[in-house]
Structure 1
Amino acid sequence: MSTQPNNPLHGKKLADIVTELQAHYGWEYMGYQINIRCFTHNPSVKSSLKFLRRTPWARTKVEQMYLAYLEKNPNLK
């Protein structure tokens, strides 16, 4: 039994979150919403993951963006 049954982030890898957001929104929109260099200057999943793993505030913003994305697209949950 899962200890966090209502947490959509539970069991979700950061790489999967960044990849899904990038596929849906694109780097330009992500950089507009969260102004960090790994989204605005020569973006890649690899550089984003490296930065987000070292920067808790930025990771939190990306997770919040992902939760908002899931709310707008309930069929993806």
Structure 2
Amino acid sequence: MIEEQQNNPLHGLKLKTMITELVDFYGWDVLDAALRLDCFYHNPSIESCHKFLKKTEWASEKVENFYLYKFKRMPKASAYQYELKPRERGFADGVLPKEPLPLTVELVEEMRATAAANYAAKKKRGRVQDYKRSKR
């Protein structure tokens, strides 16, 4: 019996292909601003990024999340799905990727500033726990 594969744009996608698609669409500067990984900043190349991401699971997952939610614009994962690695997540049948989110370095910086302000406001209202407190 053949197990049916979940609906996930990462299924069967090689890491090098993913990096190439992202670089072709966004460029090194936007990827550096959005992901803050040295492999996109210091002498970036497809080969060096591929080598780094193959060895560094957390960084690879960060790039895969970016690919899913910014490049393919898949719907936000549920809390349960978000606990899974990006390649293990599934999406409802019929949910198809959308056009990539157009990003610039300036837009990424604006988004990061807005997120930081929202976080600070929630923390001030007591709706966000400190990291140390939540780990207990």
TM-score by length of 2: 0.51
SS in 2 for 1:71: coil
Partner Cα separation in structure 1 for residue 29 and residue 58 of structure 2: 20
Shift of 1:71: 1.3
CA contact (8 A) 2:73 2:99 kept: no
2:46 maps to: 45
Deviation at 1:36, TM superposition (A): 1.5
Regions of 4+ moved over 4 Å: none
User: Which structure: greater helix fraction?
Assistant: 1
The reply to whether residue 54 of structure 1 matches residue 61 of structure 2 is no
State which structure, 1 or 2, has the greater radius of gyration over its C-alpha atoms. Answer: 2
Among all aligned residue pairs of Structure 1 and Structure 2, give the percentage whose two residues are the same amino acid: 43
Q: Which runs of 5+ in 1 are unaligned?
A: none
Q: Which moved more, 1:12-21 or 1:67-76?
A: 67-76
1:1-77 aligned at under 5 Å gives the runs 3-68=4-69, 69-71=71-73, 74=98
CA RMSD between the two structures: 1.9
Structure 2: 5+ residue stretches without partners: 75-96, 101-136
